[in-house]
Amino acid sequence: MANKASLTFSFRHNSLQVGQYVELRLFGNVVRFTGATVTDTANRQFKVTSGAGPAAIALQQIIQDYIAASGAGKYTVEYFQEGDGPSSENPDGYWIYIFVVQATELGSAYNFTGSTVSGTTWVIGYTDSRAEFLSATYTTSLVKCFSGSSGAIAVTVTGGEGPFTFLWADGPTTKDRDLLPAGTYQLLIKDGTGQDYSLTAEVGQNPRIEVQVIKGDGTLALNVSGGVAPYTYLWEDGSTGSSRENVSYGEYSCIVTDSLGCQVEVPINFDKERFFFSRNPVTLELEADELELKPNLTFLCEVWLEKVYLSGNFEKITEDPLEHPADSDGKTIFNVRRLLDAYLEPHFPEFKQNTISRADSCFKRFYLKHTEKFGNPPVPSSFSQIDYRYVLIGGLDWPEHYAQTYFESYLPQRQPFFTWDLPTKAVFPDQPEYLYFMPLSMLTTSFTVKAKVNYRGEAPVTYDLFTQENINRFELYCVPAGHDLLDLAGKRPGSTILGWDIYVVDQAGTQISETRRYELDQRYFRQKRYLLYTNSIGGINTIAALGEGKSKLDPDVQQLERIITPDFNPARGEVAITDKYLKPSLELTTGYRTRKEIASLTDFVLAREARLFGRDRYQAGTFVAKNVVLDDESEDFNYIDFEFMLAKQYNYTPQLKLAGYLDETPTTDPREPW
């Protein structure tokens, strides 16, 4: 039988003379009733006048008022009076007993049913004929393996009177549950008197086994978390390690098991390593198997970028995962080109740079973290794959991109520098020429740039120009290739140079690049300007503008009409100039070039950024082609007219030397007298 509720009033039996009192316990609070003619509620002392009838009536009213003020409802208080006045047994007056208190508003179950005497304390109490309020508690057992059904709920009922009934929100009517998946479960309990009680139980589960597949240069590694460590690994060929070396391209799978015996099978597609151009699609093609077991299938993809090369700090550049629904064949394709292209910039060499440098701004490392999501409701799969890749600023023409000739044949067979210039190029001695080179093999740990110089009347001589150590595949390097930049004249003073070849060898001396030939052009041109421009595949090319040029200044002005007011000053005019600037440009021409040279300059026409090579610095600008005839079969030579747009000029300053002088004079000494 459940415990019974009780409520007790206790007081000392006195006659309630002035200064004497009755102590009554109401809902756990002691209230003192003292015989007096005044009332003091601040210290919870309720005072009544002496005398049997008036004292009892006042006490009755005080009890009712106190109970009402405490929010518990009203009681009807009755009293019993003994004696007619002072006597030998009661020299101080009357005895007053409270012997019945009825709960008129709370119901008869809370009536006071009797009184007893214990020493000098009168106890007035009641016994609740109803059982204690119905309640319940529960304990749960975790689901052992994530997404399994081994959870359980055990319910303990207190209070109330049987029989009890149980109804779970998902249908079952048993008190306890087992073989449950993780989740929230709601139970309604009713007892035999009609009381009901609602209970919500949470069934948890052990963490899901999370597997990240990290793909490298011929390597696979599994990074496992979740579940309950330690873990074991079983690959389809029997291997038991968490990583693999010298991996060939193809399909793999591995079963990962935690210490509880929970397992996840990880499928892996290890495809050929490569880099991507940022202006062609950068795609991730995904395909799911066992579609019948994957309702509501979608794919999730996150893009992580290493903003500072080799820092190892990859940042997620997608606030939320990209999500694609699977098509009817369980496939999808993510294209993250635009996300990556925004973080790349062309790499222009330093002015007159004559050393090799890594072109960090125009390539980045990134990885795509992807997984499947399915179920009711859909939840991400327990494994994800990380594909490390390089992205390089630039792109191929669309037909060539989709044909994949660049990556499948041109790149591995020719091992080109990153330029579409002709393999043989005529250049002037002071022409700033640069080549961009990318190591393509993970076996290359260092490389050396060589120059084979062809002299008039002498045997060619090969020089080691630059050696680069600790390199990685798919990095891009800026290599000086111009005559003066390499100081070729200083390598054999007095000899006449006809031209030179540039190529790269690896640490074993094996040539790992194409050979680029430069022929020295010693012709004189009255006007000759060099412009460096971005080519389509991440490098920087140089063009010499050989014809007569024309400088232009196109002014532009922004103005407002002044308001004519009583204090208007006519001397200031009626128009206020708010902004005024010049748009300087150079009208240039390539001069006559062969048909092949003109065709290769398509890259120049498409260039997005350019630099005008000055005496001591670059000037940034853009090209606007005016006359482009790429193939005129009636002519062996042609030319391209173009306009080079410089930055807007808001304030006039003559171009100063970096030393701070207008001319070549390096001092502030007075000039010679006239």
User: What is the per-residue pLDDT across 349-371, written as a single tens digit (0 to 9) for each?
Assistant: 999 999 999 999 999 999 888 88
Torsion angle defined by CA atoms of residues 142, 146, 149 and 153, in that order, rounded to the nearest 10 degrees:
20
> What confidence tier does 668 reach under pLDDT thresholds 50, 70, 90?
low
The whole-number pLDDT of residue 112 equals: 40
- Dump strand ranges (E) for 493-549: 497-506, 516-520, 529-534, 540-545
Better-scored residue on pLDDT, 8 or 424: 424
Better-scored residue on pLDDT, 411 or 107: 411
The whole-number pLDDT of residue 76 equals: 52
pLDDT digits (tens, 9 = 90+) for 437-478: 999 987 899 999 999 999 999 999 999 999 999 998 899 999
DSSP element (H, E) containing 338: helix 337-341
Tokens of 40: 């003091």
pLDDT digits (tens, 9 = 90+) for 315-324: 999 989 999 9
**pTM value?**
0.67
Amino acid 286 reads L
For residues 243-270, average pLDDT: 89
> What confidence tier does 121 reach under pLDDT thresholds 50, 70, 90?
very low
Q: For 65-74, 157-166, 500-509, which range has the lowest pLDDT when averaged over its residues?
A: 65-74
Domain ranges of the chain: 4-130, 135-203
- Dump strand ranges (E) for 376-523: 378-380, 383-392, 424-427, 434-437, 447-455, 461-468, 477-480, 497-506, 516-520
Contacts of 342 (CB under 8 A, 6+ apart): none
CATH code of the domain made up of 135-203: 2.60.40.1080
Better-scored residue on pLDDT, 615 or 41: 615
